[in-house]
Chain A
Amino acid sequence: MSDSAIAFDSGRVVVRSEPWLARIVIIGLTMLFLTVFVVLPLIIVFAQAFAHGVGAYLAALAEPEALSAIKLTLAVAAISVGLNLVFGLIAAWAIAKFEFPGKTLLITLIDLPFSVSPVISGLVFVLLFGAQGYFGAWLQNRNIQILFAVPGIALATTFVTFPFVSRALIPLMQEQGTLEEEAALSLGASGLQTFFRVTLPNIKWGVLYGVLLCNARAMGEFGAVSVVSGHIRGETNTMPLLVEILYNEYQFVAAFAVASLLALLALITLIAKTLLERHLDEGRQARDN
């Protein structure tokens, strides 16, 4: 936008710009800050992972412990993302398509996990399901294992990633309004048909956006999972937990090899997110016009 303003209205350049020295300092500080705090940490992950060559890198990833961590991470992410996807769609329908008192409060409550420390997100499930927890004895009598097992890890991950999908969908569905759905209904479509044939196609990019961010966080969650996992080797260690264990055992290549997979996931997520945002923006502009 400001590009074009500058291009054909030179009067504005003088008014809306800083002296060249100030510009250079601001751009220089920006590049320096982001390079030190973001670019270098990212590069060092891969540099350390390949410090002893590709062979050592691949060998580290082929370790049974690494493979079981990868499997567990994928499984937990599938469960959490699946649950949050269904919830997100349902909640977004109720919140975006209808007016009711207390809507702001409800949205605040859904966003709550974002302001809870990861460690506390794990702690609350220890207090519920731990040996001394509210349901601890009941679970023990029935031999149901939640803590230090997959259900606990999936629960904590679901807690932490709870807001992502609904947060992506609510504003999008609010903008789209209810006219198209009302038209479909008046033409005789059922509620579910309307949702799957009219609403869902309209919000598919938003759904993908929410799922993408939800998945990235689910696979990368550390603090909450660390508290409920019990760190049983080869059983309840997700990839981030394995990174910690390997690092603390000074197995740096192995630690950074597993970390590099997570960093790759972050990079892919970021690229896909940038592309999706562009897509969503274009959709928004098309609606505005």
Chain B
Amino acid sequence: MVRGSGVVTGGSGRRNTLPGFGLTMGLTLTWLSVIILIPLVGLFLKTFELSFAEFANIVTSRRTLNALKISFGLAFAAALVNLVMGSIVVWALVRYRFPGRRIFDAIVDIPFALPTAVAGIALTSLFAQKGWLGAPLAELGIKVAFTPLGIFIAMIFIGIPFVVRTVQPVLIDLDPEIEEAAASLGANRWQTIWRVILPSLIPALLTGFALAFARAVGEYGSVIFIAGNLPNVSEIAPLLIVIRLSEFRYADATAIAVVVLVAAFLIILVVNRLQHWAQTRIPVH
């Protein structure tokens, strides 16, 4: 381990004389390994006990494939809704003044703060056939609760904060002069938004989209109550993991978990690349 006192602080070339680097770094790595890394490595080791054929068999079985399709497909669709609605919400919150703006701004974080089981039962009773929104929708012939549509709704709920909170600081910091410049050069408002503002928001928009997508793929608590949980129809992948565990089919549970986990990591990797790309781009102002 590197000696703490010998480490150079960034840029200035000044030597950092603070104590405790070796100790704190050692404790950090130890605790990180015990709580996070060893358990995650254990999951992958367990998968390697399966032959490739066994793994492929589990993952491509009809029920598993359908659960994965439902989780990934609906999560993607919900993240798209969050992308569009999140853009509208963030625009209103940053650019306009209207009654209740501060409260609406604060409640964007509710899906982060509200325990998922609470969100799950609340959404279910809201959209159940006799619920406040379920009843009028049922009259239109739309059944939400206990159908894939219910999963979709719950996934939208859980993804709301991501796009709003990643785009918000970027939109606030956007230099007003570029809009004025565009307008003075003859662009109409729509062209300014589409060609000037949107491109500078794209990295943040994509980051928010990817985070919402990753969250929805793994989401469990807020989805299972409203989902109906019918195998092959409205059964999400995380629920199938729990079912396999309760049947003591550990190999099955582990194989499905690895697929979900690797997909989530890939999405996060893309997010990191995006942020890197956004940071290294030539700044607009």
Interface of A is mostly: helix
Is A128 located at the chain interface by the 8 A CB criterion? Answer: yes
Tier of interface size on chain B: 35 or more
Say whether A232 faces chain B, with CB atoms less than 8 Å apart. Answer: no
Contacts of A2 in B (CB 8 A): 94-95, 176
Interface: A38 (CB within 8 A):
yes
From residue 212 to 263 of chain A, which have CB atoms closer than 8 A to chain B?
216, 219-223, 226-227, 239-241, 243-244, 247, 252, 255-256, 259, 262-263
CB atoms of A41 and B214 under 8 A apart = no
**Extra 9 A-B pairs, beta carbons < 8 Å, given A97-B18, A112-B36, A240-B118:** A17-B189, A119-B220, A120-B238, A120-B257, A124-B42, A194-B18, A222-B221, A223-B116, A227-B242
- Nearest Cβ in chain B — how far from A214, in angstroms? 12
> Is A54 close to B, CB under 8 A?
no
State how many angstroms separate the Cβ of B31 from the closest Cβ of chain A: 5
| Residues in chain B near residue A219, CB distance under 8 A | 115
- Asked if A21 is at the interface (CB within 8 A of a chain B CB), the reply is no
Residues of B within 8 A of A286 (CB): none
Closest CB in chain B relative to A43 CB, distance in Å: 9
Tell me what chain B mostly uses at the interface: helix, strand, loop, or mixed.
helix
- CB of B253 within 8 A of CB of A123, answer yes
| B122 contacts across to A, CB distance below 8 A | 41-42, 44-45, 259
Question: In the complex, are the beta carbons of B40 and A221 less than 8 A apart?
Answer: no
B100 neighbours in A (Cβ, 8 Å): 31
Please give the number of chain A residues whose Cβ is less than 8 angstroms from any Cβ of chain B in the complex: 97
Of the listed stretches B20-28, B52-60, B198-206, name the one at the interface; the rest are far from the partner chain. B20-28
5 A-B pairs in the complex with CB atoms less than 8 angstroms apart: A2-B176, A26-B88, A99-B10, A118-B220, A127-B254
Interface residues of A (CB under 8 A from B): 1-3, 5, 12, 15-19, 23, 26-27, 29-31, 33-34, 36-42, 44-45, 48, 87, 90-91, 93-95, 97-100, 106, 108-110, 112-113, 115-120, 123-128, 130, 132, 134, 155, 158-159, 162, 178, 181-182, 185, 191, 194-195, 216, 219-223, 226-227, 239-241, 243-244, 247, 252, 255-256, 259, 262-263, 266-267, 269-271, 273-274
Name the distance in Å between A192's Cβ and chain B's nearest Cβ.
9
